[in-house]
Structure 1
């Protein structure tokens, strides 16, 4: 067992999508700025009651079942996911079902065709409407490069998505595009630049030349981490600003807080009751309409066996 500082260092690498033994591999484009997004997103369940159960069978099948109740509308939704890995062949089979009666199947093949290459076939089927869709995804990683190429399986004209992230020392440069072959039109044109080390991550981006922003994540010490997020939209000339933090009271409890320029304050408390049982309480306070109400609360329980 290493010290808490050593664990924090490893945790910082994992937050970047970088393995401990391969510190040079950059994250894929979608994971740029993930550490800051996790500060604002994880541990908050505003306006819902949520239950999630995870288990693993003796044959290695991972099962995740959950449900949530939206307090405002009263709508109840549930989902079931099973995952099975055939490690000797690099295969992973994942099946998902939800109460909207949508079936999702995913087959992934990793490091077999070529080292660092992952191929995924994802299909979705809605029995009631008969609607079907499919996506073929590929990810290729080297020590200094991460590439993605995805395509929808649409005979009328697939949508092709591509992205790449290159790293040099502590710097990351990324590009993301989406091309609609049916319309012969580029529908997404995004750029990103970042700087990273184990306890400090800077991410900036420009989306379609119309939205600009960035985020900053800082692990101040092993117990405290904070993040700042800023975005500006040229079309509406609006600015979004958020600041958040997470503080670990001990190894089983954590406090979260965030606030944005719309005077919305989010608070969260997460407690590991015992091994396999985690309880999360959260609330969103509307500071501009404090006396009028409209505030939201949420409760989530995660069970794992």
Structure 2
């Protein structure tokens, strides 16, 4: 008898290890600040702000989140500086084990814009499937499924416009996950864009990864390639670096200053324009920082 298979990652989490390595903790696009606190009653408040270096626009939001573990539901309310109200209600493992339902809504009173998205996710040994209905856009029904066995993964996604009665998007992926490494290949945008990524935990202190993307409809041709690595200098300090085939080198430094206080610093250098301070479209080099407080 074969052993029970673990629950595979969801469709959106295929290749997550590589994506996190190449995207997180590189805050060179601006300055961000996030403050998270928790009340004795269990309500979590989060306030975040971001200043974009290119536009100099400051955006922010305030979020409150309440989780009732006894009855398995979570309610989240967010208000942004763009005057957008967001609400999310989640319920998990109440109707059936492994089933999670949630409703996401947004409202922009000034413009009358609104959206409603109903999501369902079901996960069991060897399978992770999700479905979503966008009530106002289309309406559009989206479904994806990932099957896993002995580390091998295969998944697919499809979007269907209910009003027009046609498939608007489809994609597929295959991969392999092991404790020390992961490899994933995606066929996206109706199989017009292909990406391949890998992640390798070399040892307890070093991680490495890469991602290549090929767009069959791009006029310039060629493959976009990005490679990166992360090393832990000690239990509270990490350094990251990545470079792409356009010659942009990004550096990231993460420091856990004390429990609940993390600082990240990012720098992006265009190695083909090291002597230029500006270029068409903005500065050649970028620097930024991110601070996170949690109590």
Out of 297, 301, 304, the residue aligned to residue 287 of structure 2 is: 297
Aligned to 1:285: 269
In the alignment, is residue 190 of structure 1 matched against residue 171 of structure 2? yes
Residue of structure 2 aligned with 1:41, choices 2, 5, 23: 23
Query: Of residues 117, 124, 130 in structure 2, which corresponds to 1:148?
Result: 130
CA drift of 1:170 comes to: 1.1
Shift of 1:127: 1.4
Q: Distance in 1 between matches of 2:104 and 2:83?
A: 17
Name the structure 2 match of 1:168: 149
State the match for 1:127 in structure 2. Answer: 109
> Alignment RMSD, CA only?
1.2
SS of residue in 2 equivalent to 1:78: strand
Alignment partners' CA distance in 2, 1:103 and 1:229: 35
State the SS of the aligned residue for 1:220: strand
Distance (Å, rounded) in 2 between the aligned partners of 1:284 and 1:148: 37
State the Cα deviation string for residues 151-182 of structure 1 (Å, max 9, x = none). 0113x741111000001111000000111223
SS of equivalent residue, structure 2 residue 107? strand
Query: Which of 238, 243, 246 is matched with 1:262 structurally?
Result: 246
| Contact 2:5–2:126 under 8 Å retained in 1 | no
Among 64, 73, 79, which residue is 1:97 paired with? Answer: 79
Q: Are 1:85 and 2:67 counterparts? A: yes
Write out per-residue CA displacement over residues 235-283 of structure 1, whole angstroms, 9 at most, x where no aligned residue.
1133110100111100110000000001010001111111211111101
Q: Are 2:65 and 1:65 equivalent residues in the alignment?
A: no
1:23 CA displacement = 6.5
- TM-score normalised per structure 1: 0.90
Matched, 1:55 2:37: yes
Aligned to 2:281: none
- Secondary structure at 2:70 match in 1: helix
Provide closer, same or farther for how the CA distance between residues 272 and 131 of structure 1 changes in structure 2, counting only shifts above 3 A. same
CA–CA separation in structure 1 for the residues paired with 2:111 and 2:225? 41
- Distance between the aligned counterparts of 2:222 and 2:90, measured in 1? 41
The equivalent position to 2:88 in structure 1, one of 106, 127, 134, is 106
Alignment of 1:198-237 (within 5 A): 198-207=179-188, 208-236=190-218, 237=221
The equivalent residue for 2:256 is: 272
Q: Which runs of 5+ in 1 are unaligned?
A: 1-21
Decide which structure has greater helix share. Answer: 1
